[in-house]
Amino acid sequence: MERVIDLHLKNLSFDHCPDRRSKSESNKWRRYPADVLPMWVADMDCLSAPSIQQALKERVEHGVFGYGRPLPGLYELLCKRMETKYDWKVDPSWIRFSAGVIVAVNQIIDAVSENGDAVLVQTPAYPPLLETPGCRKLECILSPLVSDHNGRFEIDFEILEKSITDRTRFFLFCNPHNPTGRVFTRSELEKLAEICLRHNLIILSDEIHQDIVYSDHKHIPIASLDKEIEQRTITISSASKTYNIAGLKCAYAIIPNKELQSAYDNGGKGLVDSVNVLGLTATEEAFRSGDGWLKDCLGYLKNNRNYLINEINKIKGIQVFAPEGTFLAWLDCSELMLGSSPAEFFLMNAKIAFNDGATFGDGYSNFVRMNFGCSFEILKNAIAAMKAALDAL
Ligand SMILES: Cc1ncc(COP(=O)(O)O)c(C=O)c1O
């Protein structure tokens, strides 16, 4: 009985989503008019863990917010976490904190690249990853993942290897993968690593969704495969997705290779370790005490995911594959024949804001990305509104 009550109370805390539209500056909730349900940008609507809120309150009460420097305890907690959760021994000297994953990716490419280098990116891709090479004035080589008849995206290793040119210097990888929800297996990672070694590529591995992984799947940092691949990989991640603290802007890069470390440090003068002090506090507390909350959160998200897959599969014309990780679903709406933009259709007719598939690379304009990191009630309302809009056609 106690356990039932306990679970009920825990669920209530994920069911309860504070008013983000009028009581906060939320990008997700304020971008669209008040009658639109936002199912787009990848943050969750739930409160962050009580222990994180408490740590932040204490830090705010301190009252002084000068420049920060991560405390030694944070490095230790991160290394311990990497070893216990991901079986990867990280040395504290490899870690660099940053104001965000995308900030760090841009900074690394700037620091390490030379004129004429190219960056290999798999599509569909989280739009800022797609845009980063161009922003850094490098060529972006796109290599599409391929979808099987169930809508599960996989790597076609032949296509990938063929797209590598003499100028390709970086492989910008995303695992768990946004937007497809794939959590790549050890065998897939080994094949990728082998290709990167053969072509002398530096792997920039964005693993920000590493903790949001559902049962039967396991996140493996690509750098943890072996020492050789570790030396050519920079892993960039954050506690931000896991603990819903993205607005606090704190991420980290793990750079085992000494030359890459120096390039990063020298290239980023004035930027290195420029981190929000509240982000450092929240991240440290998350790593110290966040495991229990994360377990409950994953249970809630899994229930949302299962409901979504079940319901969306009842809609004729939409194909969706159950994401193995992330709180994002990648909906193929091609067969609905909604015209050039299903995202626009759902915005106008269902008052639901999704991410438009077109922004994830060429060939995905018939997809929408749906964020299910919300209360069960919001999810139910969103799917009901989608169905009603389609029924009215
Ligand atoms: C794969 C991926 N990388 C990076 C980010 C953004 O991270 P940050 O806000 O730390 O730049 C996101 C956010 O949705 C993401 O999904």
Read off the tokens for 195. 């290709």
62-289: what fold? Answer: Aspartate Aminotransferase; domain 2 (3.40.640)
Non-local (6+) Cβ contacts of 18 within 8 A are: 24, 47
Distance 50 CA to ligand 1 centre (A): 23
Q: Which own/partner pairs from 69-74 qualify as long-range (CB within 8 Å, at least 24 positions apart)?
A: 69/273, 70/97, 70/273, 70/275, 70/280, 71/280, 71/284, 73/284, 74/280, 74/283, 74/284, 74/287
- Residues 355, 285: Cα–Cα separation, whole Å: 31
Output the ligand 1 site: residues, CB below 6 A. 42, 100-102, 126, 174, 178, 206, 208, 238, 240, 246, 251
pLDDT of residue 271: 67
Are 201 and 120 spatial neighbours (Cβ–Cβ below 8 Å)? Answer: yes
Are 360 and 331 spatial neighbours (Cβ–Cβ below 8 Å)? Answer: no
pLDDT of residue 5: 41
DSSP-derived pairing of the beta strands 168-174 and 202-206: parallel
Among 56-70, 75-89, 270-284, 323-337, whose mean pLDDT is lowest?
270-284
Distance 208 CA to ligand 1 centre (A): 6
Non-local (6+) Cβ contacts of 147 within 8 A are: 153, 154, 321, 332
pLDDT of residue 312: 97
* Cross-strand bridge partners of residue 110: none
Kindly indicate the confidence band of residue 274, based on its pLDDT and cuts at 50, 70 and 90: confident
- Residues 289, 282: Cα–Cα separation, whole Å: 11
Residue nearest (by alpha carbon) to ligand 1 atom 7? 101
Instruction: For the chain, report the end-to-end CA distance as a whole number of angstroms.
Output: 47
Distance 359 CA to ligand 1 centre (A): 15
Are 361 and 143 spatial neighbours (Cβ–Cβ below 8 Å)? Answer: no
pTM of the entire predicted model: 0.96
Kindly indicate the confidence band of residue 326, based on its pLDDT and cuts at 50, 70 and 90: very high
Sheet holding 328-332, edge to edge: 328-332, 367-371, 355-356
Read off the tokens for 234. 């920079």
- Residues 256, 228: Cα–Cα separation, whole Å: 11
Number of the ligand 1 atom closest to the C-alpha atom of 251:
10
Are 365 and 372 spatial neighbours (Cβ–Cβ below 8 Å)? Answer: no
CATH number of 2-47+291-391: 3.90.1150.10
State percent of the chain over pLDDT 70: 96
What average pLDDT does the chain have?
A: 94
pLDDT of residue 303: 97
pLDDT at 190 over 50: yes
pLDDT at 15 over 60: yes
pLDDT of residue 170: 97
For 1-11, the pLDDT digits (tens) are 333 444 445 55
Are 136 and 110 spatial neighbours (Cβ–Cβ below 8 Å)? Answer: yes
Distance 133 CA to ligand 1 centre (A): 16
Average pLDDT over residues 285-307: 97
**Coil, helix or strand at residue 38:** strand
pLDDT of residue 12: 58
State percent of the chain over pLDDT 90: 90
Higher pLDDT, 268 or 322: 322
pLDDT of residue 11: 57
Are 315 and 387 spatial neighbours (Cβ–Cβ below 8 Å)? Answer: yes
pLDDT of residue 267: 85
Distance 5 CA to ligand 1 centre (A): 35
For residue 184, give the nearest of 161, 206, 199, 200 by alpha carbon.
Answer: 206
Average pLDDT over residues 177-186: 98
- Residues 98, 70: Cα–Cα separation, whole Å: 10
pLDDT of residue 3: 39
For 213-269, the pLDDT digits (tens) are 998 899 999 999 999 999 999 999 999 999 999 999 999 999 999 999 999 998 877
Number of the ligand 1 atom closest to the C-alpha atom of 99:
10
Pocket mutation for ligand 1, best pick of 102, 135, 184, 234 (most atoms within 8 Å of C-beta): 102
pLDDT of residue 273: 65
* Cross-strand bridge partners of residue 139: 118
- Residues 108, 106: Cα–Cα separation, whole Å: 6
Number of the ligand 1 atom closest to the C-alpha atom of 129:
3
Q: Tell me the domain boundaries of the chain.
A: 2-47+291-391, 62-289
Pocket mutation for ligand 1, best pick of 97, 98, 126, 182 (most atoms within 8 Å of C-beta): 126
Read off the tokens for 268. 């980023």
pLDDT of residue 2: 39
Distance 101 CA to ligand 1 centre (A): 6
- Residues 335, 152: Cα–Cα separation, whole Å: 17
